[in-house]
Amino acid sequence: MKKRVIGNKGPLVSEIGLGCMGMSWLYGNADRSESIATIHAALEEGITLFDTGDFYGDGHNELLLREAFQGIQRENAFISVKFDGKQHSQGKSHRESDNHPHTVKNFLEDTLLRLGVEYIDLYQPGTACIDPNIPIEETVGAIANMVKKGYVRYIGLSEVGVDTIRRAHAIHPISWLQMEYSLFNRSIESNILPTLRKLGISLSAYGVLSRGLLSERYMVKRSGSRFG
């Protein structure tokens, strides 16, 4: 498995990562045993990058990763986590979203407990967590404090524009930006990609197969239904 550097002089991670959202949320029911087997297969193939979020199944995904990583050396898994500014506990009511920077440590503490780890490799606010009424400088500054304390290694961003990227990067080096990018969705090429290159920020691309539209599986199904 080829590896790439995250950010400017950051760690080496596998060129291909495993997004774990579908194992807990959004895309229908998932089989726990199959999900864990998939994570183990990814590790065996040399994948070290695993992407999750505290809102993926209200904490379910982080608990799933904790189970899957039992017996795995911590340094073999680069864990990126998105948070959405809410308290998450499966089956319980949640408080309204609180995006104020002083609450970041609370969400981080919950994530650390669910994952059963002492630090998060990369921590980033989810799109819903970025309140236009709260400067991004304050949110990134709060995460930077967690970096200083050793609970977070690197900071990322998700689904933001050039202005937000520049302002955040001025407070603390941003290691990556997570955006959808594929042959069918190339809008970031005009402004965002040049900015990332100039600032030394990596792109964490998701949806590279256009959510299955460009996959062989989709084409087989489509051709089968049309001509079969």
* Residues identified as active-site: 56
CB atoms within 10 A of CB 221: 13
Question: Which residues are within 8 A (CB) of 43 and not within 5 positions of it... i.e. 6 or more apart?
Answer: 72, 76, 77
- Cα 53 to Cα 120: distance, rounded to the nearest angstrom: 11
What DSSP string runs through 142-164?
HHHHHHHTTSEEEEEEES--HHH
- Cα 19 to Cα 7: distance, rounded to the nearest angstrom: 19
For the chain, give the number of residues. Answer: 228
- Cα 112 to Cα 100: distance, rounded to the nearest angstrom: 20
